[in-house]
Amino acid sequence: MLMRLLVVLMLSLFAALPVGATPAQVQRYFEGLRSLRAEFTQRVYDEKARVVQSSSGQMWMQKPGKFRWSYQTPSKQIIVADGERLWSYDVDLAQITVRKLDKALGSTPLSLLSGAAPIEDAFTVGGERIQDGLNWYDLTPKQPQPEFRLLRVAFKGELLVSLELEDGFGQRTRLDFQKLERNPELDADLLKFAPPAGVDVVGDSG
């Protein structure tokens, strides 16, 4: 579930809008976005807005279809999409799960992840809403999705600072970003994964 959630969050980050966006501006932003790097705090809220889970770490993303999420708290976990496979490494359990990326993505459009298709093909983009000094936009999927019913992205000026995903039961997952860099040069090794010696690997690693 965590891997599927991160794929959805990666999609929404690559599809995030600049302030005052029109569909044409959204598409230009999509086309111009090559990579991201940031520190993050992730919180999960229940339907009564109570925090039920909190974690933090670092993330790196690069088109097409590559990313790395490194969770540092409350436990260490590394999730890497290398363009072909999706790896999830639970450091404490010393166990790795791997799946082919297209199967892991499921109904998430690969064309959107790669930036080849405009965001309006998959989402209805809501108007600007200002809350707590942030400019929020709602992205509603045009086709029903099992993991979420709504994506929200928030900007402060030109800077992406927060993202929320809400499911059909009212549970929300919120990511708040710090030190986010747009289009940095990334170390290619960050977007690869080599299983450590002696760690069990479950799934399709061939």
* Residue 47: inside a domain: yes
pLDDT score, position 149: 83
Banded model confidence at residue 161, pLDDT cuts 50, 70, 90: confident
* Residue 154: inside a domain: yes
pLDDT score, position 50: 94
* Residue 118: inside a domain: yes
CATH number for 48: 2.50.20.10
* Residue 206: inside a domain: no
82-117: pLDDT as tens digits: 988 889 999 989 999 998 877 766 544 444 444 445
* Residue 43: inside a domain: yes
Query: E strands, 8-149, where?
Result: 35-45, 51-62, 66-73, 77-82, 85-90, 95-100, 123-125, 129-131, 134-141
pLDDT score, position 78: 94
DSSP 205: -
Q: Give the range of the structural domain holding residue 66, as residue numbers without chain letter.
A: 2-195
Residue 195 predicted with pLDDT over 90? yes
- In the chain, the number of structural domains is 1
Q: Are strands 172-182 and 95-100 parallel, antiparallel or unpaired?
A: unpaired
Q: What is the CA radius of gyration of the chain?
A: 17
Q: How far apart are alpha carbons 113 and 111 in whole angstroms?
A: 5
Banded model confidence at residue 6, pLDDT cuts 50, 70, 90: low
Handedness of CA 13, 19, 23, 28 (dihedral sign): negative
